[in-house]
Amino acid sequence: MKFNWIACEPNCRGWVSAVGIITADTPKDFEEFSRGRQLGGATVVLDSSGGSVNDAITLGRRFRNLGLLTTVGVSLRGGQSARPAVAPEAYCESMCVFLLLAGKKRYVPEAAHVRVHQIWMGDRADDAKAATYSAQDLMIVERDIGRLAKYTFEMGGAGDLLSLALSVPPWEDLHELDAGELKLTNLVTTDLVADVLPHVDISAPAMAGLAPKTQARFGAEPEQSQPDKSTKTAEAVVPTGGVAAPVPATQK
């Protein structure tokens, strides 16, 4: 995941653009990005297919500690005469959804796509039904589900979010949350864009040809004593029809 500060003086404060897959380096990269910046209460605009479960949890807790606000969109810097803007048609999938949950206030534009699925072993996500699993693998998955549940309730999310995500196996398409589900899960806390991005244009035209992200497989992180169990994020194959495949059990 890459972080950039989008400045929009003089009438708005600016915001953080967060784009890409969440990896083991992402929490450290955010700390480096935030060094010397007064980010308290700023807004993070998310555009991500997800990534590592435990690293997303670490980053989400950092967001909450800073009192950040969250939304979904594609940040547009603007030209010489144009002001920066946010295109609302963007994707926040898998563990990105739990980063969205970290915001003290959370807004999702109508045109945004917020999609969930189960976490799974990242190295066996491409053909989850044919793969074999050990007792250790099941322990890792269940442990990380427990961590994700604890985090969800800490952030003020509803159990419905976990229920919806954990009901979608890796061999099915991701489930896109509708407006009712966004509120049911408590992912949305405001219907006013001005609560998270005052004086910012988010009515920019939808980006023509915008396609779903290539789904990242998020897997449960292995015990440190088990280095052979890779926790790196692996790219998921996008099935025919352009819909990203859901992430398997220890990944999100």
In a domain, 245, yes or no: no
Structural domain total, the chain: 1
- The predicted pLDDT at position 227 comes to 34
CATH (domain of 10):
3.90.226.10
In a domain, 19, yes or no: yes
In a domain, 192, yes or no: yes
In a domain, 242, yes or no: no
| The model's pTM | 0.82
In a domain, 244, yes or no: no
Q: Annotate the chain with DSSP letters as a single string.
A: -EEEEE--TTTS--EEEEES-B-TTHHHHHHHHHTT---TT-EEEEEB--B-HHHHHHHHHHHHHTT-EEEE-EEE---SSSPPEEES--EEETHHHHHHTTSSSEE--TT-EEEE-----GGG-TTTTT----HHHHHHHHHHHHHHHHHHHHTT--HHHHHHHHTS-TTSPPEEP-HHHHHHTT----S-GGGTSTT-B--PPP-TT--PPPPEEP-PPPPTT-TTS----EEPPPPTTTPPPPP-TT--
In which domain, by residue range, is 144 found? 2-235
- The predicted pLDDT at position 126 comes to 81
- The predicted pLDDT at position 77 comes to 83
In a domain, 248, yes or no: no
- The predicted pLDDT at position 11 comes to 73
In a domain, 169, yes or no: yes
Tokens of 120: 């799974």
- The predicted pLDDT at position 211 comes to 43
In a domain, 158, yes or no: yes
**Mind listing the pLDDT tens digit of every residue in the chain (252 residues)?**
999 999 987 778 899 999 999 999 999 999 999 999 999 999 999 999 999 999 999 999 999 999 999 999 999 987 666 788 999 999 999 999 999 999 999 999 999 999 999 998 878 878 889 999 999 999 999 999 999 999 999 999 999 999 999 999 989 999 999 999 999 999 999 999 999 999 888 864 544 344 444 444 445 555 443 333 333 333 232 222 333 333 433 455
